[in-house]
Amino acid sequence: MGDPIELINLAGEMPEEDKELIKKAYAFSKRAHEGQKRMDDSPYFTHVFETAKILARLGMDAKTIAAGLLHDVLEDTTINEEDLKKEFGDDIVFLVNGVTKLGTLKYHGHERHVESLRKFFIAMTNDLRVVIIKFADRLHNLRTLQFIREDKKKRIALESIEVYAPLANRLGMGKLKGEIEDAAFPFAYPKEYGQVEELMTEEKNSSEKNLEEVSTKLKEELEKNKVKVAEISYRIKHKFSLWKKLLRYDMDIKKIYDIIALRVVVNNIEDCYKVLGIIHSIWRPLPGRIKDYIAVPKPNGYRSIHTTIFTGEGNVAEIQIRTKEMHAEAAYGIAAHFAYKDKRDKKGDEKSKFKWIEELKDFNYELSDPKKYLEHLKTDFFNDRIFVFTPKGDVIDLPENSSPIDFAYSIHSDIGNHISGVKVNGKIAQIFSELKNGDIVEIFTKKDAHPSGKWQEHSKTSMARKHIKSYLEKNSLLSKLRSLGRSS
């Protein structure tokens, strides 16, 4: 079952008092859960220990790891809040309480589900650590999903894919997102999972051989050019992620170049571009396949350079280049901020990077129509995102298929309400046109320009729809009052 030393080793360097806290939480939780069993007949304590292990691997602080060990004591044991506070203080009780409250509302139809999601988002805005503990808890539960009832199995798996994984992705936690999806995939879509397994096995071997040759040649060239490399490794695409991509390419695996990607980790940004130059001097890049997420990070904070190259004999390979810090952030996202925060005191760094979290808290919804809320939620926060630029180079993060109307309202409601024209990439465009990743958008306004009912059909974000609806309602009321005034 492991011991507290295993957790301490996984978490890395920490002060002595933090080690003592983890040991104390371990002993306390083990005593509290004594005699309890899980569905698979294993001791209940195994679950909280595995949850704490996931948190330690994510590089979370000692209090979060301790709260992971204790996250079920208030709900499932005789321990009360006072006892816990006496032993561990307010902060840990706050975290445990947060996780407990998130667990009390189960998925019973859309209404309860929406309400539990709202609790989830409010917990996020209060303290992100609560949500990270919940992710770890969910991931371990998914890994033991085979032991529960069939209908429940499917429901938990789908909820994990539709809500937990996209949320982890928006927090930049790529590793966790992939693990949640892959653990849920066989239970949510068993047939499709089998197909992907089969396709992947066939393709993996030839891709690995191809990348080995590329890796050997690249190492030689980097040494020759005196570029210090922290690591060169392979990354195998997560199965669920591959399935989603296969759907876009009519299940033709030959059209997917990044099943296995080569990853080059260097010490600084300058070396990232140096490596890119060396790669392109050896192999020819595929046109349109060079992506510089260092200059323009993804909306979730992901930074890296991706290039796809022809390696000869009809083979193609993707190479990703990044620094050590970018590598940690790509895997752990917001959790990396907790791990790095002592080394670089950037106050409010994660809040500014994830300002959409505050928007989630204020996200308006009608409980009378929870399906609509879930629909908007997926569109506004969880769908694939595009980033579009203002003429000054500011990045606006929007859902895929957004129009210039969405862009205008995301800058200011007043700009949205008075759009008279738009230029996309320097050319006059329709205000109803679909924006693409990387577009530069310039909005023109006039005082007498205003929304019409047609605008709602061409807006994707609920923010734009809300402002258009409000404008139309207010103005139809005003015109009614004016006509009443005239008739009297």
Helices (H), 356-461: 356-361, 370-377, 404-411, 413-417, 453-457
Cα(318)–Cα(297) distance, rounded to whole angstroms? 18
Decide: 276 and 320 in contact? Cβ < 8 Å. Answer: no
* 3-state secondary structure at position 375: helix
* Catalytic residue status for 75: yes
Render 31-76 in DSSP notation, one character per residue: HHTTT-B-TTSSBTHHHHHHHHHHHHHTT--HHHHHHHHHTTHHHH
* Among candidate residues 205, 315, 323, the one with its CA nearest the CA of residue 272: 323
H/E run at residue 280: helix 269-282
Q: Are 259 and 204 in contact (CB under 8 A)?
A: yes
The C-alpha atoms of residue 401 and residue 407 are separated, in whole angstroms, by: 11
Among candidate residues 6, 18, 75, 115, the one labeled active-site is 75
Exposure string (b/e) for 92-128, b if CB count within 10 Å is 16 or more? bbbbbbbbbbbbebeeeeeeebbebbbbbbebbbeeb
Helices (H), 79-189: 81-104, 109-126, 128-143, 150-159, 165-170, 174-188
Q: What does the DSSP 8-state code read for residue 306?
A: E
Decide if 76 is catalytic. Answer: yes
- How far apart are the C-alpha atoms of 83 and 94, rounded to whole Å? 13
How would you classify the pairing of strands 284-285 and 260-266? unpaired
Choice among 18, 76, 203, 359 that is catalytic: 76
Residue 213 sits at the vertex; the CA angle it makes with 212 and 214, to the nearest 5 degrees, is: 90
- Name residues whose C-beta falls within 8 Å of residue 109's C-beta, 6 or more positions apart in sequence: none
CA 316/CA 259 separation, integer angstroms: 11
Ramachandran quadrant class, 329 (left: phi over 0; alpha: psi -120 to 50; beta: rest): alpha
Evaluate the CA torsion angle 260, 266, 269, 271 in order and state its sign.
Answer: negative
Name the token pair of 419: 């759009």
Q: Alpha-carbon distance 292 to 321, whole Å?
A: 10
- Calculate ∠ Cα 51-55-56, nearest 5°: 115
Active-site residue numbers? Answer: 75-76
